Amino acid sequence: MDSNQQQSWRGAALCRDADPDELFVRGAEQNRAKVVCMGCPVRTECLAEALDNRIDFGIWGGMTERERRALLRRRPDVTSWAELLESAKRDYAEIS
């Protein structure tokens, strides 16, 4: 993902104007923070960025760092989460 693509998805982020302290929280507060992501139009792009760049803190794409670490451990074969998640999103759009 180039920097232009990054800028474009960030512009559509639901949390764009949120206080970063609301997304970079720990423990039970993370469940509340994840709710913000559920309706976000760029959830896929956000999650892919965190996974591809091994970002290890905060809620990204509706997943906590712990959930992302577990996913990365389960799928060490994935070289581009951006490609994988975009492909899954396209497939889902075709069948729905």
Q: Residues 32 to 91: which contact ligand SF4 by CB under 6 A?
A: 36-37, 40, 42-43, 46, 59-62
The reply on whether position 23 binds ligand SF4 by CB under 6 A is yes
Q: How far is the CB of 86 from ligand SF4 (least distance, A)?
A: 15
Residues 29 and 57 sit within 8 Å (Cβ to Cβ): no
Is 22 within 8 Å of 36 (Cβ atoms)?
A: yes
Residue type, 21: D
Binding site for [4Fe-4S] cluster: what residues are annotated?
15, 37, 40, 46
Amino acid of residue 74: R
Strand partners, 63: 60
Terminal C-alpha separation, the chain: 26
Instruction: Return the residue of 14, 71, 72, 84 that touches ligand SF4, per CB under 6 A.
Output: 14
Q: Which residues bind ligand SF4 (CB under 6 A)?
A: 13-15, 23, 36-37, 40, 42-43, 46, 59-62
